[in-house]
Every structure is written in structure tokens, then in C-alpha cells.
């Protein structure tokens, strides 16, 4: 394993940002910045051994300071949407920022991807990693509790990017952390992901209102364009006449994973037959938001000036279900004071 670091420039506030890169014996490398604990690049081989960067992102820190799409972002305190930007906890109603119409999205206007994190680099026998830590103070974004958070990224010799989320609060609060990387296995600058294939380990999903807040219904995917229980091209039914797809302009839906939740299990897979690259997603979270970058419009310009347009990448955001704090039938994202929030997501890369 090789770990290197270099300057990633200064923020508008004058903070020095650092870019860290971990490279394994296979030549796979992953780069992160302590600004926002963001993933900047994931470089993996194709079936012929050619290396390519398979996540959308920016070359410079200035891109991540704006980063409206959330490329590579560490998301918190609460990933995804909270209806009407409010919730009740222990008899008290908490009002949040309305940064997505009348709703709260990804914590608010200033997410966890907009802060400088303390870092610790470590190396073990078959992996190397970086731990990013920060204290999110009581009532930041409107959430109660001083929350000690850490996100640890590890690269293994088996081409696995392992993400572990840990958090402890001194008050009851909500916690729902995720990563918002946009994947394109043909390469970040290769166009759309419509010809790539997806498998999702889910028999059900959560339909939404027009502003993408779950209604509380749990719907079977059978006989619908939402069914990815067999490998299927993303573009095969993305424009089908189906209400959930119309509402979102493509896929932007929470799938209820068919896993135990007690172990880290396989949740999804992305396959690009042209390059031969395969990515498997493992987690112990109950849900996964599959988002096909429907809102990348107008065109965003990313690394090396590459134009990123609608459907240029796909996100696999492991999570508690959106708006679970307001729907009692959903698994709860409430973290009790002193309890430990501990979840793992793995992106494993291979070729076929």
C-alpha cells in the first residue's frame, strides 16, 4: 500500500485543504480531501488493465465548495429528505432548513461536505485508510445533540473501498449518514450510464409524492420498471410511463434491501460490459437510494473540463429510508444519547 498527500488548495475562508491518495498493489487508487471528507477520484482497471477514474468530481477545491450535485460527498446529519423540514422527538418539534422546496434535503444548506475534518492515516497488513473526524455541535442544521462523528475510508488489496460511519451524541437525535458518489464505470467523462446494468437486492421500494417525500406506502417492484432483481440496463425503462419515474425524471428512489441488517451483505451491483468493470455494493443499512443524476442540468463541468449531463452517473446511497423520522412504520433513524451509530458500506471493484 502507498499513501501520499499534497495540497488541494485553499478554501474561500483561507483554510488549507489536503488531498490524500491511497494506492494498492493492483494499481487501484482512491483520493479524498479533508474538505468535506469528500471522495475525489476512484481509479480502477478495466478488463484489459487500462486504468480509469469512475466517479464524477472536480479537479480543484473551489468545485467542492459549491458542489450543488454533491459529487463524492459525505452527507449528514440526515441524508435524503425530511418532509416539511421538521420532525418531533421526545415531544419537541424541531424546525430544519427548507433547502429543497418546503423540505429538508441532506441536512440543509451547509452539509457535512462543507467542513474541514481532522485526519488520521493508518496502515494495516492488507489495507490502508484515513479517518476523518469532527464534532457537529448541538443544533447545527437544527438537529439536537453534540455529535462526535467519524467516517473512515479504507482501501483493501481486494479492490474494496470500505466506508465505516461512527457517531455518538450527548442527546437523543437523528443520524443518517451516507456517501453521494456518482459512479460511471465506463469513466467519469464517458457520457451517460444508460447502457450500464444494475442489480438491486430489493423486492420493494417506497413511492413518493411529487416532491419525492415517501408516502409511507411500501410497494412491490414486481411488474414495474423499478424491478432490478435481475441485471437490467439502466436505460431500459428509465423513460417508461410510470408515475414514480415521471416524478423523479428517472430513478431517485429508496429501495428496501432484502438483507438481515445484522451483517454487511450484498445490496446492489453495477456492470459496464464495454469496459468489463463491475462494482458490488455491500452494507448493513436497511435501504439504498438509487439516483441516476436526473438533475444534472444544466451541464456541470468536472475533472479535466468533462461535461457532466443528465444521467452521467449513478449513486448508491445506503441509508435509513427518507422521512423515516415522520413515518413510524419505517426503521427509525433516532440515535439515543450515548448509543453508538455504526454502519458500513463497501464498494468492491472487479472485472469480467
pLDDT tens-digit profile of 180-191? 999 999 999 999
Write out pLDDT tens, residues 275-318: 999 999 999 999 999 999 999 978 889 999 999 999 999 999 99
Number of domains into which the chain is organized: 1
Specify which residues 310 forms β-bridges with.
none
The residues that are catalytic are 180, 317
Phi/psi at 291 (nearest 5 deg)? -125, 120
**pLDDT (0 to 100) of residue 72:** 98
Nearest alpha carbon to residue 321 among 308, 331, 311, 307: 331
Nearest alpha carbon to residue 42 among 33, 52, 50: 52
Asked if residues 340 and 177 have their Cβ atoms less than 8 Å apart, the reply is no
CA angle centred on 296, ends 312 and 15, rounded to 5°: 100
Chain centroid, CA 229 distance in Å: 21
On whether residue 220 sits in a domain, the answer given is no
Residue with cell 455504526: 342
On whether residue 292 sits in a domain, the answer given is yes
Contacts within 8 Å (CB) and 24+ apart, 219-223: 221/255
Regions of the chain short of the pLDDT cut 50? none
Helix then strand count (H, E) for the chain reads 2, 29
**pLDDT (0 to 100) of residue 62:** 96
On whether residue 261 sits in a domain, the answer given is no
On whether residue 203 sits in a domain, the answer given is no
Q: What is the CATH number of the domain that holds 109?
A: 2.70.98.10
**pLDDT (0 to 100) of residue 297:** 78
Which residues constitute the domain of residue 78? 2-193+288-351
Taking the C-alpha atoms of residue 74 and residue 258, their distance in angstroms, rounded to an integer, is 25
Q: Quote the mean pLDDT of the chain.
A: 97
Instruction: Name the 3-class secondary structure at 149.
Output: strand
On whether residue 237 sits in a domain, the answer given is no
Half-sphere exposure of 89 (CA within 13 A, CB side): 22
**pLDDT (0 to 100) of residue 261:** 87
On whether residue 219 sits in a domain, the answer given is no
Amino acid at each position: 500500500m502507498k499513501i501520499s498527500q499534497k495540497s488541494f488548495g485553499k478554501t474561500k475562508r483561507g483554510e488549507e485543504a489536503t488531498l490524500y491518495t491511497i494506492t494498492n498493489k493492483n494499481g487501484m487508487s482512491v483520493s479524498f480531501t479533508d474538505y468535506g471528507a469528500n471522495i475525489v477520484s476512484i481509479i480502477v482497471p478495466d478488463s484489459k488493465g487500462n486504468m480509469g477514474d469512475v466517479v464524477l468530481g472536480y479537479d480543484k477545491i473551489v468545485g467542492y465548495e459549491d458542489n450543488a450535485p454533491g459529487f463524492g460527498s459525505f452527507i449528514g446529519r440526515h441524508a435524503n429528505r425530511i418532509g416539511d423540514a421538521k420532525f418531533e422527538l421526545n415531544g419537541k418539534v424541531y424546525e430544519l432548513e427548507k433547502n429543497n422546496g418546503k423540505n429538508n434535503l441532506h441536512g440543509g444548506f451547509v452539509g457535512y461536505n462543507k467542513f474541514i475534518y481532522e485526519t488520521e492515516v493508518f496502515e494495516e497488513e492488507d489495507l490502508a485508510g484515513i479517518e476523518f473526524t469532527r464534532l457537529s455541535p448541538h443544533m447545527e442544521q437544527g438537529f439536537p445533540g453534540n455529535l462526535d462523528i467519524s467516517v473512515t475510508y479504507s482501501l483493501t488489496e481486494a479492490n474494496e473501498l470500505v466506508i465505516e460511519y461512527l457517531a455518538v451524541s450527548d442527546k437523543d437525535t437523528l443520524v443518517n449518514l451516507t456517501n453521494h458518489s456518482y459512479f460511471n464505470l465506463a469513466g467519469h467523462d464517458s457520457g451517460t450510464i444508460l447502457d450500464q446494468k444494475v442489480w438491486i437486492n430489493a423486492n420493494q421500494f417506497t413511492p413518493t409524492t411529487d416532491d419525492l417525500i415517501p408516502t409511507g406506502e411500501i410497494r412491490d417492484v414486481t411488474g414495474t420498471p423499478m424491478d432490478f432483481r435481475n441485471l437490467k440496463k439502466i436505460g431500459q425503462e428509465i423513460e417508461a410511463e410510470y408515475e414514480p419515474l415521471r416524478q423523479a425524471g428517472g430513478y431517485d428512489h429508496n429501495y428496501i434491501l432484502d438483507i438481515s441488517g445484522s451483517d454487511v451483505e450484498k445490496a446492489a451491483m453495477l456492470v459496464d460490459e464495454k469496459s468489463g468493470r463491475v462494482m458490488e455494493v455491500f452494507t448493513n443499512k436497511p435501504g439504498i437510494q438509487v439516483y441516476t443524476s436526473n438533475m444534472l442540468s444544466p451541464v456541470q463541468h468536472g475533472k479535466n473540463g468533462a461535461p457532466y449531463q443528465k444521467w452521467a452517473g449513478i449513486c448508491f446511497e445506503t441509508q435509513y429510508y427518507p422521512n423515516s423520522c415522520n413515518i413510524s412504520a419505517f426503521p427509525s433513524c433516532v440515535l439515543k444519547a450515548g448509543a453508538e451509530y455504526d454502519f458500513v458500506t463497501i464498494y468492491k471493484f472487479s472485472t469480467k
